[in-house]
Structure formats: C-alpha cells, structure tokens
Amino acid sequence: MQFGIETNIGVDLFDELGPLSGLFNPASRIFWFYLLTAFTIALAVYIVQEKKRNAPSVLKYLFPKEILLHRSAIVDYFYFIINSVIFFLFLGPLMLSTNWVAERSQEIFESLGAPAGLLEISPWIVSAALLVAMDLALYLAHYLSHKIPTLWEFHKIHHSAEVLTPITVFRMHPVDDILNMTLSALSVGVTAGFLEQIGVGPLSLYLVSGVNVFLVAYYVFGYNLRHSHIWLSYGSILSRVLISPAQHQIHHSSLSRHWDKNFGFIFSLWDWFFGTLYVPQTKENFPLGIGGEEKEYSSVWRLYELPFVKSFKRLFSSRINK
C-alpha cells in the first residue's frame, strides 16, 4: 500500500540536484514562488507601515546589507550548502519514512479490530488532519528542544543567529533535524494509518506538486518573513490561531520575557493551550541570539562541533555533581 504523504519538512532541499534546486522545488521552503510572495508582502508592509515613518528607500529596507552581509548570515549561507550535501549523502536515506509508518500503523489498527470502511473521508479533511498532525509533532519537538538540556545544546545553534534571513531556517543541527523529522513521520504516519483503516476506499488528499495544499498556502502567505527583519503581525485575534512572522522573530529574542515562547510552526493554538503563547501588542525591538553566547558560533565547523562538546560537558558535569 502506498500512501504518498511524505511531509517534506526538513529535507526539502536535500535532493540529487543540490542545494539551489530548492528554488525550483515546490516542496522547498525557498521555492521561488514562495520567495516572490514573501517579497510582495514585505513590499506591502513597507508601503503601509514603514514609508510614513521616514524609513530608508525601499531597496535598503527590503535588502539591508548590514543584515544580508552580516558575518552570521554569511555563516548561514555556507552552512546551508554544506549541510544539504551532508544530509543527502549520509542522513537523508536513514530518515524514518512517513509512508512506512502509515502502512505499519494501518496494519496495527486492523489487527486491533478497528472498524474498516466506517466513513467516507473528504480529501480536504485528510489534508487538514495530516497538516495538524505534522504541526503538533513539530511543536512537541520544538518544545523538547528547549526544555531538555542536551537537546537544547543542538537546537541552540539555530538561536545563535545574530540576524535573520530566509536561509536562517536551515541553520539547524542534523540532530535537531532528525528529531523534527522523526516525530513528524510518526505523527503524520499514525494519523494516516488510522484514517486509511476507518475510511472508505484508498486514502487521498489534495496536493499541489506533491505538497499538501494547506502547507503550500502557508508557505505562500509570508512564511519566509519569519526569518527576516520584516515585522508582520497578524493582530491579537488571529495570532492566537496562527503563528505570525513577528511572533517567530520574538521567539529568537534574547530578552527574558520572550524566552520559551511561540514554539508553533503553523498554529499558535498549541502555544495558547500549553501556556507558551506570546502575542505582541505593538512592534517590539529586541536583540537576537542567546545572551552573548552566540559569538561562539562563528563558523560552520563550530555549528557542528559545539553542540557535541557542550552536551558532553553538561553530561559529564552532571555525573560529577551526583
């Protein structure tokens, strides 16, 4: 049985065509159309919000060289290229398959006596259910990455970015990626297996070039502004349902009032429910990073090395203290 529901989260650029193939792959978060729509939204933000505040010219506002050419951003660019090659050669083939989990889960549900062919499930419902399952798993992975000290050492490299660009999203340690993709595959796969068992006929969902239609919509409406200097808030009401770019930028803040807030990928409902939601009332200014420690992550090599060094030190010191 083939479900055809791979999530494409975290491995979207790691294919045989190399890192820049993401520009032409709808499963990639930096697909050219998603970047174009983000640019269009950023331009609208400039016209509506910033132009009347005596902001710099539109080109300087949209493409500030102090951000794009910042040493942290340059490390991101090189890390993105090198990490994508490493992932393709070594880690990608070892990742847990969502389809495999779905098949095994459906078999388990069948063996447990779950009713078969109970409901006729609309592809819209299937698409939404799998998106919610993926998002909940990513929230959980993100939460654990902040709360478990060893995992935090690996996730810390993402927060060590001193500036944000759309490429900063790929400033993720392979250990962090493995956690995200494993929990996503388990959550989406089990959900798909259950729906396949109780549904009438083969499971189907709405895809755009092989990607969940709802995920495509999320990418189109400004996803790439999450890691940018463009402040875009969804307001006090919608921000309790969806994570805005402004809310994710706050997640990168080094101010204590912003710590461990806004873990959500798409939905802020999880943050609201678990008490980790922070909704800005107005535009906020804050430093990015991890309180000065970000200076240590000054090269591609140190992004790979430091998490292992620091996690081993933490483990060793904890054993001594016992």
pLDDT band at 264 (very low <50, low <70, confident <90, very high): very high
Strand, coil or helix: 121: coil
Give yes or no for residue 225 having a pLDDT over 60. Answer: yes
Tens-digit pLDDT profile for residues 34-45: 999 999 999 999
Give the span between the Cα atoms of 137 and 291, in whole angstroms.
28
Give yes or no for residue 180 having a pLDDT over 70. Answer: yes
Give yes or no for residue 17 having a pLDDT over 60. Answer: no
Name the nearest CA neighbour of 178 among 195, 199, 155, 200. 155
Q: Which two tokens stand for residue 89?
A: 């050669």
Give yes or no for residue 14 having a pLDDT over 80. Answer: no
> Mean pLDDT over all residues of the chain?
90
pLDDT band at 246 (very low <50, low <70, confident <90, very high): very high
| Separation in Å, CA 91 to CA 156, 186, 236 | 20, 17, 40
pLDDT band at 200 (very low <50, low <70, confident <90, very high): confident
**Beta-bridge partner residues of 212:** 207
Burial class (CB in 10 A: 0-12, 13-18, 19+), 60: exposed
**Euclidean distance between the first and the last CA atom of the chain, given in angstroms as a whole number:** 51
165 with 73: CB under 8 angstroms?
A: yes
Give yes or no for residue 5 having a pLDDT over 70. Answer: no
What lies within 8 Å, CB to CB, of 226 at 6+ separation is 169, 243, 245, 248, 249
Give the span between the Cα atoms of 65 and 264, in whole angstroms.
29
pLDDT band at 1 (very low <50, low <70, confident <90, very high): very low
